[in-house]
């Protein structure tokens, strides 16, 4: 199964569902065991090794998270929603580490052997201390309730997007075949598929501007353009945050950044030939957020530059191709 840029990486999706099932099981075991006399021991015997297994999986997941690129947020998510989603992700990662570590530390402080299975057990990670035990025991419970509430909020948000907004948010994490992928093969009348296949590029010859729809949020668009330029060894001379400049004088401008970039080894010969071309070099890319769901990238069109300076050919077509590939990379189904 190849990775789809609109989805999380396969390993991320497997870890997500595996850990979701295990964490939910753990929360139920935990809340059941503290209330149970008859099954207490049986539940504790599962709770302890399962907690350590979750700690190991959390470590694998964190490394995987740092090594993979995330699919873009769907345009249906507002900047506020995106901030909340990112914050809740950080909270969930923190809790995935904190809960087993606090549990382990609490048993250490309580002078308990940390039995896994058979004769296997773990060493204590904290000194035996009544006060420490009491604090960690309470912390363990509070963090577990916090994890359960965060899980409920996460579940509510995803189900809301899936059933009410119907933006296929869940497809990003799907381990099952999703509608959009199936439709690519069997249903090319599907407007969604057709939409996906249209390059997100609009050219208006009269204005001399080529405009792309970005598949990413504003900030991410700026970061991705800069990263892609650097990867191609193209120099980024400046990044001018126009909205910040506006704010500095007490005015409001929609989020707008001007990126000035170029390759002196290619631009210099052109400027030697056409001195006035230096007015438009280095090249410029403009990123702006029309609304939280609409981020655009604008370039001066190659034809416009060719006409303006009377160039025999247009060396800038390459740049448009570069931006077409880049903005398409996040939008393919």
Residues that bind other proteins (CB under 8 A): 27-28, 31-42, 44, 75-76, 78, 110-113, 115, 118-119, 121, 123, 128, 130-131, 133-135, 137-138, 148, 152, 155-156, 159-160, 163-167, 191-192, 195, 198, 200, 202, 211, 213, 290-294, 296
285: its two tokens: 């890319």
Instruction: Give me the sheet containing 256-262, strands edge to edge.
Output: 201-204, 209-213, 294-300, 283-291, 256-262, 235-241
Helix (H) or strand (E) holding 297, with range, is: strand 294-300
Nearer to other proteins, 40 or 237 (CB): 40
Minimum Å gap between C-beta 253 and other proteins is: 16
Nearer to other proteins, 10 or 27 (CB): 27
Minimum Å gap between C-beta 18 and other proteins is: 19
Nearer to other proteins, 163 or 186 (CB): 163
Minimum Å gap between C-beta 129 and other proteins is: 8
Question: How far is 294 from 95, CA to CA, in rounded Å?
Answer: 34
Minimum Å gap between C-beta 133 and other proteins is: 5
Nearer to other proteins, 78 or 239 (CB): 78
> CA dihedral defined by 273, 276, 281, 285, rounded to 10 degrees?
-130
The number of residues in the chain equals 333
**Nearest partner of 107 among 142, 70, 137, judged by Cα:** 137
Minimum Å gap between C-beta 229 and other proteins is: 24
Nearer to other proteins, 8 or 133 (CB): 133
Nearer to other proteins, 268 or 291 (CB): 291
Minimum Å gap between C-beta 44 and other proteins is: 7
Nearer to other proteins, 12 or 300 (CB): 300
List of residues 6+ apart from 14 with CB closer than 8 A: 175
Counting Cα atoms < 13 Å in the Cβ hemisphere of 260 gives 12
Strands 283-291 and 201-204: unpaired
4: its two tokens: 């789809």
Question: How far is 275 from 267, CA to CA, in rounded Å?
Answer: 11
Confirm if 79 and 217 have CB atoms less than 8 A apart: yes
Minimum Å gap between C-beta 288 and other proteins is: 11
């Amino acid at each position: 199964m190849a990775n789809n840029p609109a989805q999380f990486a396969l390993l991320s999706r497997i870890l997500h569902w595996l850990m979701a099932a295990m964490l939910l099981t753990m929360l139920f075991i935990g809340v059941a065991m503290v209330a149970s006399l008859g099954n207490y021991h049986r539940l504790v015997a599962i709770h302890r090794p399962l907690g350590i297994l979750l700690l190991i999986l959390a470590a694998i997941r964190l490394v995987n998270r740092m090594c993979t690129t995330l699919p873009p947020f769907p345009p249906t998510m507002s900047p506020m929603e995106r901030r909340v989603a990112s914050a809740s992700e950080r909270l969930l990662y923190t809790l995935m580490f904190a809960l087993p570590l606090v549990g382990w530390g609490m048993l250490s402080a309580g002078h308990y052997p940390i039995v896994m299975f058979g004769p296997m057990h773990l060493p204590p990670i904290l000194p035996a201390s009544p006060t420490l035990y009491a604090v960690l025991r309470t912390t363990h419970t509070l963090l577990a309730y916090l994890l359960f509430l965060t899980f409920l909020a996460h579940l509510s948000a995803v189900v809301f997007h899936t059933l009410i907004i119907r933006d296929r948010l869940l497809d990003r994490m799907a381990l099952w075949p999703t509608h959009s992928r199936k439709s690519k093969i069997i249903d090319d009348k599907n407007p969604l598929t057709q939409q996906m296949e249209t390059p997100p590029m609009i050219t208006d010859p009269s204005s001399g501007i080529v405009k792309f729809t970005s598949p990413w949020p504003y900030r991410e668009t700026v970061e991705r353009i800069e990263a892609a330029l650097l990867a191609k060894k193209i120099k980024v001379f400046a990044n001018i945050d126009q909205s910040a400049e506006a704010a500095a004088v007490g005015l409001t401008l929609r989020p707008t950044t001007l990126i000035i970039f170029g390759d002196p080894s290619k631009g210099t010969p052109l400027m030697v030939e056409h001195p006035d071309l230096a007015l438009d070099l280095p090249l410029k890319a403009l990123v702006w957020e029309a609304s939280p769901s609409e981020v655009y990238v604008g370039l001066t069109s190659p034809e416009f530059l060719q006409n303006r300076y009377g160039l025999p050919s247009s060396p800038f077509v390459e740049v448009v191709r570069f931006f077409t590939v880049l903005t398409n990379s996040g939008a393919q189904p």
